[in-house]
Chains A and B, each alone.
Chain A
């Protein structure tokens, strides 16, 4: 599903954020990406959803080398990835409905299908009453749920979320995690970056721990609690 081989990343002439990182994620797995702020979690995710090019190394997604692909083929890969951005990136003057519909419209789906899927998903994230609202009038938590609905509406094979609980209170954060768990049970591969260690422990999924530009892959049997100690601020 996802394979990184000896991947390095640096921004311009800056230091190497990721240094010879390798990892492999199985289809249908659920991983939590942890590490202190500035460790490079967001950078790793950007490589994953193809916002960044690695400085060196190989990345393959769905069994295809992403660097060698044509631009249009890479666009095709992106359509199989749902991203919940840390800052949501909703389009301001579009209604909740149109924001969520955008991936389907890009894919050229029929309006009737779009309506059915969008209404269902928006209701699922609990925003049925806000379907025609301008996202600017919504609270941070509501905006985040719109962003999640948009990430999911195209039934992605891979879901990437960067600090999705960052701006949420615990109750909504928990509901959100339930959504992700449900998706995971439906076969979607999920990668979730967070520095909320209590959440990671509660989820009990394998942990990808970023440390000095490398990733330590741990599975849940290994007692993640010990490994995560010392990272709390």
Chain B
């Protein structure tokens, strides 16, 4: 016994046919954006953790120039000796003045201006331990030196990012649950319109599988169409955000890349919507038929 096709029994003439894909599109749109958002936050946290944590700074207070040079040399020598420190870079007076120029104007170049010396250390290993060691070694010759390992600052930022990431995942779960419920509900509502047709086919001698087959294919098509629409809208939205924000955020945020795993997951969203619609339609129709003798 063959199953009915779209040509035998077109179902697209009813209003629910337009309604269902639109609602599914909206759900998939939200799910896709939440998914991308969660991934963006995860990548950001990861990069901050691995990138910035390899650096710390030492600040030597302002002093007369000739003394400063000697002290800087002492500090560099001491710091380079610490195991785990791979490089020490000095931000000298000219560079510091150049950085301050926008705020102080030509006054920044005044040699009388007391400017601190900044040392940037590139380190490998337990950054907190290395910072403690640096403080111990500098305390005797240079008691005024300040060692900053950024850990407090990065830790706060990381916590924030991780919190946002967890929130995005939570939102994604909520949206997914809402999407499933919506697809189920809308598919069932759509089928209610077709109940007379289901009954009629049954009375004409259609087998249950034949009737279910026609309606489940119809629902799957609508789920797929809706899913693709939603995905396209999400892609357009992402493209727009990327285009408008890219020039301003590039310095603040690490570049975000949609990896192959995320891409696959996103591409699967419409298929998932289609499958949910198909299963819902099948179960609903078979249940409806089971009430008929």
Partner of A51, one of B8, B13, B203, B207: B203
B205 touches A76 (CB 8 A): yes
Q: How far is the CA of A89 from the CA of B201 in the complex (A)?
A: 11
**Which of chain A's residues has its CB closest to B4's CB?**
A105
Q: How far is the CA of A49 from the CA of B203 in the complex (A)?
A: 8
When distances are taken between beta carbons in the complex, the residues of chain A under 8 Å from B293 are 50-53, 74
Judge if A179 is at the interface, Cβ distance under 8 Å: no
Could you mark each residue 88-109 of chain A with 1 if its beta carbon is under 8 Å from any beta carbon of chain B, else 0? 0101111000100111011110
Known: A52-B293, A91-B197. A72 touches B207 (CB 8 A): yes
Known: A51-B293, A53-B293, A105-B8. A93 touches B14 (CB 8 A): yes
B208 touches A102 (CB 8 A): no
**Which of chain A's residues has its CB closest to B201's CB?**
A106
- Min Cβ gap A192→B in Å is 18
Judge if A227 is at the interface, Cβ distance under 8 Å: no
B208 touches A71 (CB 8 A): yes
Chain B: interface secondary structure? loop
When distances are taken between beta carbons in the complex, the residues of chain B under 8 Å from A106 are 4, 201, 204-206, 210
**Which of chain A's residues has its CB closest to B289's CB?**
A71
Which residues 192-210 in B have Cβ within 8 Å of A in the complex? 196-197, 200-208, 210
Judge if A77 is at the interface, Cβ distance under 8 Å: yes
Give the number of residue pairs across the A-B interface with Cβ within 8 Å. 61
- Min Cβ gap B202→A in Å is 8
A78 touches B204 (CB 8 A): yes
When distances are taken between beta carbons in the complex, the residues of chain A under 8 Å from B210 are 106
B204 touches A103 (CB 8 A): yes
When distances are taken between beta carbons in the complex, the residues of chain B under 8 Å from A74 are 293
Judge if B264 is at the interface, Cβ distance under 8 Å: no
B205 touches A93 (CB 8 A): no
Q: How far is the CA of A94 from the CA of B197 in the complex (A)?
A: 11
When distances are taken between beta carbons in the complex, the residues of chain B under 8 Å from A49 are 203
Judge if B241 is at the interface, Cβ distance under 8 Å: no
A91 touches B200 (CB 8 A): yes
Q: How far is the CA of A74 from the CA of B292 in the complex (A)?
A: 11
Q: How far is the CA of A107 from the CA of B2 in the complex (A)?
A: 8
Judge if B255 is at the interface, Cβ distance under 8 Å: no
Judge if A83 is at the interface, Cβ distance under 8 Å: yes
Judge if A138 is at the interface, Cβ distance under 8 Å: no
Known: A93-B13, A106-B210, A108-B1. A78 touches B205 (CB 8 A): yes
Q: How far is the CA of A98 from the CA of B13 in the complex (A)?
A: 14
Judge if A172 is at the interface, Cβ distance under 8 Å: no
B207 touches A89 (CB 8 A): no
Which residues 265-293 in B have Cβ within 8 Å of A in the complex? 292-293
When distances are taken between beta carbons in the complex, the residues of chain A under 8 Å from B292 are 51
**Which of chain B's residues has its CB closest to A72's CB?**
B207
Judge if B143 is at the interface, Cβ distance under 8 Å: no
Chain A to chain B: the 10 pairs with minimum beta-carbon distance, closest first: A79-B205, A93-B13, A78-B205, A108-B2, A53-B293, A105-B8, A75-B207, A75-B205, A106-B206, A89-B200
Given contacts A51-B293, A75-B202, 7 further A-B contacts (CB under 8 A): A75-B208, A79-B204, A93-B13, A103-B205, A105-B9, A106-B4, A106-B206
Between A and B, 22 residue pairs with Cβ closer than 8 Å are: A49-B203, A51-B203, A51-B292, A71-B207, A72-B208, A75-B205, A75-B208, A77-B205, A78-B204, A78-B205, A80-B205, A81-B205, A83-B203, A89-B200, A91-B9, A91-B197, A92-B13, A93-B14, A98-B8, A102-B201, A105-B4, A105-B9
